[in-house]
Amino acid sequence: MDSSSHLPLFSILFVMLGLTVSQSTNITGAHSSTFTIVNNCNYIVWPAVVSGPESTQISPSGFILQPGESTSISVPPSWSGRISGRTHRGNDSSGNFSCLTGDCGTSILECSGRDATPPVTLAEFTLGPVGTLVYYDVSLVDGYNLPLMISPHNETGGNCNSTGCAADLNGDCPSELKVVNGSETVACKSACTAFGAPQYCCETTDTCKPTSYSRFFKSRCPTAYSYTQDDANSTFSCFAADYVITFSHLLPPRLMEVQRKEWRIRKVATSAMLPVEPAVPIATIKQSATVPLDFTVCQSSNNVSA
């Protein structure tokens, strides 16, 4: 199985519903969740929002966020899909829109239902009917191009922890996985993308085991998916109204350690088939006024302005 086809097991909840996006504003109307996408990098990011295979594709499915900008997305019940960020915009050989990382291959700003090209960091969501759990995760199964965090807000119950990858994996990326633009590492491939071997691509569950490469991702981003069968410790669920998806949300060391402790407790509890309790109060982990948003690891001068 191609790692780019990865979606969590709960993706069977996909139904045909749509979603609309409004730059820097909340869209009014009945909806189950509001997703706020924040660009906390010091350069432009071109987010992409792609609905699941059985969901109506949204429009627009691609847009631009200047540094410090945010966009609010009104998400209906039973929607499922992915959010990612494109970087290093340029033009292809025909002069059309193209990004060096996370590109959709459409030659325009819109992704029009086409998935981002690996390597790319993915935020994945599956919403059920109104009043049911929302499942979410951050996946590095398709590699990494940007730090990305998901933080629930206004939740009413469930395992409502922040999750994601706040580390700069481009700087630490093994040389055989690097995507390089000149002297700069702009993305970090998954082993499946780099080598295509069955032990890395999880073509069957028998061959789908952690590897030294998936452990590289897991050790630095313990709550993110590191390979396709990494469900037990990387999927979160929450009764929540709102989610904040932040590019370049690098946590201070203290909160990074909180996430690692939470992951270890989840792993032990899952193995023992015991209920999972948070390592610390949820409010300590989630974004708050005491956790600044300017921990930028997205520092590059090679992004071309729109």
Task: Render pLDDT for 249-264 as a digit per residue (tens, 0 to 9).
Answer: 454 444 445 545 554 5
Determine the pLDDT at residue 250: 55
Is there a domain that residue 220 lies in? yes
| Distance separating alpha carbons of residues 240 and 238, to the nearest angstrom | 5
Average of pLDDT values for 266-280? 41
pLDDT at 91 over 60: yes
More confident residue, 43 or 272: 43
More confident residue, 206 or 185: 185
Q: Are 164 and 147 in contact (CB under 8 A)?
A: yes
| Distance separating alpha carbons of residues 137 and 140, to the nearest angstrom | 10
Is there a domain that residue 295 lies in? no
Determine the pLDDT at residue 207: 65
Helices marked H in 85-205 — which ranges?
A: 169-172, 191-195, 198-201
Is there a domain that residue 289 lies in? no
Is there a domain that residue 304 lies in? no
pLDDT at 218 over 70: yes
Determine the pLDDT at residue 241: 75
Determine the pLDDT at residue 9: 37
CATH number at residue 198: 2.60.110.10
pLDDT digits (tens, 9 = 90+) for 207-217: 688 999 999 99
**Max Cα separation, the chain?**
57
**String of DSSP letters for 138-157:** EE-TT-BSS-EEEEEEEEEE
More confident residue, 224 or 61: 224
pLDDT digits (tens, 9 = 90+) for 19-41: 333 343 333 344 568 889 999 98
Q: Residue 16 phi/psi, 5° resolution?
A: -85, 90
Is there a domain that residue 228 lies in? yes
Domain that holds residue 191: 33-271
Is there a domain that residue 47 lies in? yes
Is there a domain that residue 280 lies in? no
Q: Domain total for the chain?
A: 1
More confident residue, 184 or 208: 184
